[in-house]
Structure 1
Amino acid sequence: MAVILTIRDETMTGDVYNEVPLEFPSEQVTVRELIRSRVYEEVQTFNRQQDNELFNGLVQPTDTEQILNGRKTSYKLKKRRQLDWKEQYEKATEAFARNGFLILIDNRQSESLDEVVTLGADTNVSFVKLTLLVGG
């Protein structure tokens, strides 16, 4: 049975700044599949927009400049082009492995890409990007 799940981007304080509905063919998915579906959808959405140079995605594409807009991070392409979802997916799984972002499922942190999650109508999935602190 297909499950529609709304994935949220949150700040470290729990403020939601982006929501993306995704459909999964089964109630059982891995964290890897959550990431893949999310990245695929955001890249397809960007590629359908003809005149947009700003990509609002989980990880930064190659040849872009990071732009901070309040709580939300966007990436400005130096030259408008189609993005490759597989390349973005690889970057996202690498970022997850090095703690570039957290995935919270019902307020519990996922620790492995191969962790199996049971999705339901009330399942909460949040992506929380971690920001490196700069200082001396």
Structure 2
Amino acid sequence: MKTITIKDETATGKILHELTLQVANELITVKDIIEARVKAEVEEYNRKAPEKFNGLVQPSEVEQRLNIDRNKRNFKPVDAEKQLYIALQAFQQNGFFVLVDDVQADELDEEVLVTDHTSISFIKLTPLVGG
């Protein structure tokens, strides 16, 4: 297992959020990175029940309303697969950029060699809202 730290940054380089993840292999794809991130964020949200979902892709307005009172029986957890689909689509449509060691990754199947010094940053260009 390798540990990677993912940073959310503004276009000017200001760090907004950091997330540490475990990945199984040293050689992974950009798609694997996005998938690991989205699944970890959704899992943490569904488990911890924070007031606000702070992830790469925001749940739709309807989902957010359903999740406001987590003590109600009608709570509907955020769907990780749905969020992943939206995130992958957003990457392909330049909704956000992924920088690996300060170099922009262009393709989902682009391979990344994870070392102790690998730097991965996400730069969001537009608000990403799920469905």
TM-score range, shorter chain: 0.7 to 0.9
Q: How far has the Cα of 1:126 moved from its partner?
A: 0.1
Match of 2:109 in 1: 114
Which structure is higher in helix share? 2
| Superimposed CA distance per residue, residues 87-106 of structure 1 (whole angstroms, 9 cap, x where no aligned partner) | 10000000000000000000
Give unpaired runs (5+ residues) of structure 2: 68-75
Q: Which residue of the other structure, out of 67, 78, 85, is the alignment partner of 2:65?
A: 78
Letter paired with 1:23: Q
SS at match of 2:13: coil
TM-score by length of 1: 0.83
> CA separation in 1, counterparts of 2:93 and 2:65?
27
Identity of aligned residues (%): 40
- CA RMSD for the aligned pairs? 1.5
**Structure 1 spans left out of the alignment, 5+ residues:** 65-75
Which residue among 93, 96, 99 is the counterpart of 1:101? Answer: 96
Which residue is 2:57 aligned to?
A: 59
CA distance in 2, matches of 1:63, 1:131: 16
Q: What is the identity, as a one-letter code, of the residue corresponding to 2:21? A: L
Distance in 1 separating the partners of 2:46 and 2:97: 26
Q: How far, CA to CA, are the matches of 1:131 and 1:42 in structure 2?
A: 19
2:2 matched residue in structure 1: 3
Task: Summarize deviations over 1:47-67 as a string: whole Å, max 9, x none.
Answer: 0123x3411110122235xxx
Q: Deviations over 1:23-82 (max 9, x none)?
A: 1111000000000000000000100123x3411110122235xxxxxxxxxxx8112131
CA distance in 1, matches of 2:79, 2:126: 25
Structure-2-length-normalised TM-score? 0.86
Give the strand-richer structure, 1 or 2.
1
For residue 32 of structure 1, what is the amino acid of its counterpart? K
